[in-house]
């Protein structure tokens, strides 16, 4: 059974304090690793797709990386508007994305 585990469950940062969110996955034959951002009361917003180990993608203060067992979402010099829940999902042989429970990020000004 495909599994995705995210850590930490919650993270509090000061504005400008860089950090990383972890997504560990166990899927048979990874076909895609996805990161989403979800604000309270809203649907997930697509951020990145990674397909193979060693791949990296960046968008503003966010950078996603992928190894054979985990993915990291690095947040550089975060701002309060980066506060949200960040979701990770992986697709394997079944093609159906399995989501982690998310990391709730709060950035204090």
Question: Least distance (Å) from other proteins to the CB of residue 91?
Answer: 5
For 20-52, the DSSP string reads EEEEEEE-SS--EEEEEEE-TTS--EEEEEE-S
- Write the DSSP symbol of residue 77: S
Interface positions, 46-65, toward other proteins (CB under 8 A): 46, 49
Q: Which of 13, 23, 25, 36 binds other proteins (CB under 8 A)?
A: 36
Tokens of residue 93, six digits: 């042989």
Q: Which of 65, 71, 91, 103 binds other proteins (CB under 8 A)?
A: 91
Q: Which of 66, 102, 103, 107 binds other proteins (CB under 8 A)?
A: 102
Question: Least distance (Å) from other proteins to the CB of residue 12?
Answer: 18
Coil, strand or helix at 69? coil
For residues 60 and 96, which CB has a smaller minimum distance to other proteins in the complex? 96
Q: Which helix (H) or strand (E) holds 6?
A: strand 3-7
């Amino acid at each position: 059974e495909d599994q995705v585990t995210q850590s930490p469950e919650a993270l509090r940062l000061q504005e400008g304090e860089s950090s990383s969110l972890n997504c560990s996955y166990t899927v048979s034959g990874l076909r895609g690793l996805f990161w989403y951002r979800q604000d309270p009361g809203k649907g997930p917003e697509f951020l990145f797709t990674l397909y193979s180990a060693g791949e990296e993608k960046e968008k503003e203060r966010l950078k996603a990386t992928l190894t054979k067992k985990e993915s990291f979402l690095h947040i550089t010099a975060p701002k309060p508007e980066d506060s949200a829940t960040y979701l990770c999902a992986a697709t394997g042989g079944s093609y159906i994305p399995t989501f982690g429970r998310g990391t709730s990020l709060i950035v204090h000004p």
